[in-house]
Structure 1
Amino acid sequence: MSSKGISANKIRTIMQKVAIYPMDITEIFDENICVLIDSICSSSQMPREYLITMLLPAIDHFINGSQIGTDTGTPTNISFFTTIIGYSSVNKSSATEVVLNACLAIEKYLGIKTDESRINCSATVESLLIELKNTSPKLIQIWDEAVTLLQLFGLYKQGGAAYDRSIMCTLYNSSAVVKRQTKSGNITVENPVLNIAAAAHPADIFSSVSNESDDDGLMARFLFSAPQPCIPLSDEIRSLNIDEPSLTHLLYIIYCFNATEQNDGRRNDDEDQRIIYSYSEDAQKVY
């Protein structure tokens, strides 16, 4: 078994090398959130990196279009495309499920109807743009199998994959206007914000990254995480403490701090209504 000329042994070697660099979550989150993440990961038997990688797009989704100030002083949207990579039976689905369930719980609490959900699973790029235009300009996709997402590009149109990939790149780049023009009609979306969280098998990702025709930089926009699988002993597994704050609480608090929609999902916020974040001095040193 190989992936575009890369042997299975080569893929496994790369995965092993990547896994020796663990993620230091204390550099990303404060102590209380670290405790929350550790509690979820311990009860679900998954590495921290799986949850954090899936969590970043969800956090961005619930900041409700808030922006970050760039070095030039121009505010820009924030968008995350992330993927966790692992072989079968390493519990990738647990990370996907816990983030998805938290998003669904918040939407239910906010009274968002199922057919108006901001959690998108469009089968084509054209469908995705229609949802961004008609449902909400701020959507999140959570894929348990990233190969489903990767196969969407140009699904129905011969030679259309490159065009669809360019649109995905434009969505990531936080352009003010995204257009798709075809013989069947035109779609224009203003101020779209798309976040993607996905789980994938190594061969699928290596195939996409190593494909020479995919030179548009789409895969370079993804943050990949391939940690060492978590295989705890039976006495190391603990039940989730329901008395502690959950992921749902965390994401809902983020939503409340950034709420500007006033129950109107279709309103395009003016710049003076958006929260504009700035990099801290420590972040600027890294950035």
Structure 2
Amino acid sequence: MYPLRVLPRSSQVPWRRYLWLLCLLLVQVCPRWALADETPLRVMTYNLHGAYVTAQTALAVLRPHRPDLLLLQEVRNVDYLAGLGRALGLSYWHFAPYTRERGGVAILSRWPLGPAQTLPWPQSRQGKLALAAQVAFSARTVWATSVHMDNPLVGKTPPTFWQKLGLFWREFFTTTPRMQEAQALRDWLQQLGAAETIIGGDFNSVPFARADRYLRQYFRDALAIDLAQYFRGTYWGPPHGPFLPRVDYVYYSPHWQVVEAQVIQHKASDHFPVLAVLIAAPALKPL
């Protein structure tokens, strides 16, 4: 059995010194990174049905869900909007009126908003539009967008079965006003430089229609987190049918991920609101 040979101190490998040198090198050469911010952002979109829903009724629906960001359609006027904001603690707002109907779209936010940007649909016969503004949220900036697309059934008598079938065919396979508005929306947001985006609204189009398929090339649908919620109807007003259609959406850019999403089935308006709780996507972010 051979005795262990102990190297003199001068010949031992100075591994601690090399480890410190490696750490210093990483600090100097590599970019500084931090984990994504996990502060949740509670987003709701809601079509308030114009003059038919009082502020007290709307608050009874909204308040239990503690929204941080509200993307609204068919808002009566600015006084109505400001009253909702005060009651919900959402101090910052923008309102954009429809051009051919009463009311408008709006954004309510817990955090400061940048200047309002509007996009009236070029081919709209109803004066609908989109409204966008930057939100200063948790040391980052995100574009919030409230959208209302044209209703294909407005001003028409209740459709027959065959008329409904024709409507679905057109929405799924042809270029309808909703499809044109979806393209205009995406192009407009790109021109604004709105890379980090949250979009909510009444799209008057069902899942997998051409407008939805187009938007999902660039954004994600919050309700896709839950199959039961994904197909849950959001419009229960006339014309009635055996199934409630989902026409209200919260879309978001890949900078975010959903931790909760649901259709709030409360019959105050003729639409149900949609809630989405978002956090930053779990990618490493530069400091």
TM norm. shorter chain > 0.5: no
Report the TM range for the smaller structure's normalisation.
under 0.3
Instruction: Pick 1 or 2: higher relative contact order, CA cutoff 8 A, min separation 6.
Output: 1
- More strand, by proportion: 2
TM-score (norm 1): 0.25
TM-score normalised per structure 2 = 0.25
User: Which has the larger Rg?
Assistant: 2
